[in-house]
Structure 1
Amino acid sequence: MARKPRIHLPGGLYHVIFRSNGGQPVFLTEDDRYRFYLLLQEGTCRFGYRVHAFCLMTNHIHIALQAGDIPLSRGMHNLSFRYTRWINWREKRTGHLF
């Protein structure tokens, strides 16, 4: 049975965690971190969320943010998908990162 969709509260504060598969590194170079910053910033305009704090660790990421009118899951899916696509393109590999 599938899990129930997360509750979306416009203006709600959320703590989001992205964990890598198998404890692999999420960021291999400083360019990777910079790319993540750009994608996170782009999402604030595109999906209407506000980032209050974030912490980029070796194998996971924490983000404290405030949701906008667009469901948070859409913005976070877009962020993780686009960043994974970037890593896979740069490293010439396929598969999941998170």
Structure 2
Amino acid sequence: MTPRGYLRGVFFLMKDWDDFAALNFDALSRSSSAQAAAMLIEIDRQLQARLDPIAIEIDSGLDSITQDALDGLERIEVDVLDAIEALAKRFSPHPKGRSDD
């Protein structure tokens, strides 16, 4: 993808038009390769600054969901083991050879 195409994609990710004006797309398209590279580096830095907090929030949310799922599975495991133990006691032979029924 050309720098110009990359920039068009970046503009769709910008939150407000002030950023668009600050980048001055027309100036970039007429600038030298070094200036274009410097502007792309700056755009990347700005995008990372905006996207990093979102990524951290998503990661934190996923950690919370994962922990909730693990806690739920642990409760299910305990309930299943308790049920198995209760069934084993119910169907195990009584010491005198009779069941508890």
After TM superposition, the score normalised by the length of structure 2 is: 0.34
Of Structure 1 and Structure 2, which has the larger fraction of its residues in strand?
1
Larger radius of gyration: 2
Of Structure 1 and Structure 2, which has the larger fraction of its residues in helix?
2
After TM superposition, the score normalised by the length of structure 1 is: 0.35
